[in-house]
Amino acid sequence: MPKPPEVIYPSDVVIERMLVLGIAPESFSESYMTEPRPRASKAIATLKSARPTILPSLLLCDFANLEREVRLLEDAGVECLHLDVMDGHFVPNMSYGMPIVESLRKITKLVLDVHLMISDPVQYAPQFANVGADCITFHLEALPEPQALLAKLRGMDVAAGVAINPSSDFAALLPHVPFCDLVLVMSVQAGFGGQSFNSVAVDRLRQLRTQFGPDLLLEVDGGVNESTIGQCTAQGADLLVVGSALFRQANYVDAMARLNAAIVPTNC
Ligand code: DX5
Ligand code: ZN
């Protein structure tokens, strides 16, 4: 006989974060897994033990030699790859989709962090979970009520999070943070690599870290380079997405060493 569905309650961490926001845990209605999440837990543990850590954004890599690029990044000490998915609709640019994530999954054990800049994350995010993503973030601007999809992705054993653009209302994000494994604070408007860092992200990182404590993984993306990385880590960023400051350099080992040397320990 099939087992009846378990009654599932939010984890202690979720309850703790809800209390921070003054939300009564009884009002919580989404289902959350209590079973072990082996893939998500492993990815989260890897990222936490490595933090602060640099995540190369593959947007500018040499796609004709993708496997060689991955090996060079592994040799440079990278723990996690950041994969920017753009649909030409949510953002005015297109990149790649499931086949690239699936191909990467076959050739590397690195954590795969998929950043969905797409209009319909409800339809496509689960497909990225199925092809081997470890972490998936989607934009609050695309899905202003993100909790059902966060729960679904967590139920599919991926680490799930919400991304927010610099121009968007930060207050609208806060009620959803308790349900995120990670939050992606954009320091450029999503869509293109090579833009300048917007320091509104620094204030947001500090506020999230102060309000929600050390358990939450905080990611920052856009314009992160040797000059801007220190202010991000000082204010609590764990995951530093870097595109042009890495891929426009001839030697990834040297570029990673310079970026790592510019990291400042957190002061919050
Ligand atoms: C922007 C992407 C970023 C970007 C980072 O929409 O999400 O990941 O490629 O590139 P840089 O570091 O050049 O800003
Ligand atoms: Zn990104």
Instruction: Assign residue 54 the CATH number of its domain.
Output: 3.20.20.70
pLDDT tens track of the chain, all 268 residues? Answer: 555 444 445 677 777 888 888 777 665 554 454 567 999 999 999 999 999 999 999 999 999 999 999 999 999 999 999 999 999 999 999 999 999 999 999 999 999 999 999 999 999 999 999 999 999 999 999 999 999 999 999 999 999 999 999 999 999 999 999 999 999 999 999 999 999 999 999 999 999 999 999 999 999 999 999 999 999 999 999 999 999 999 999 999 999 999 999 999 998 8
| Domain membership flag for residue 11 | no
| Domain membership flag for residue 257 | yes
| Domain membership flag for residue 7 | no
Strand-by-strand arrangement of the 80-86 sheet: 53-56, 239-242, 217-221, 182-186, 159-164, 135-139, 111-117, 80-86
Residue 78: CB within 6 Å of ligand 1?
A: no
What confidence score (pLDDT) does residue 52 get?
A: 98
What confidence score (pLDDT) does residue 36 get?
A: 78
From the CA of 115, give the closest atom in ligand 1: 7
Please state at what angle helix 121-130 crosses helix 147-155, rounded to 10 degrees.
10
Tell me how many domains the chain contains.
Answer: 1
Residues recognised as catalytic = 84, 221
| Domain membership flag for residue 15 | no
69: domain range? 35-261
| Domain membership flag for residue 133 | yes
Best residue for ligand 1 mutational test, from 113, 241, 244, 247 (most atoms within 8 Å of Cβ)? 241
| Domain membership flag for residue 129 | yes
Chain Cα centroid distance, residue 199:
19
| Domain membership flag for residue 48 | yes
Give the type of residue at 80. C
- Please tell me the pTM assigned to this model: 0.92
Task: State which H helix or E strand residue 19 sits in.
Answer: helix 12-20
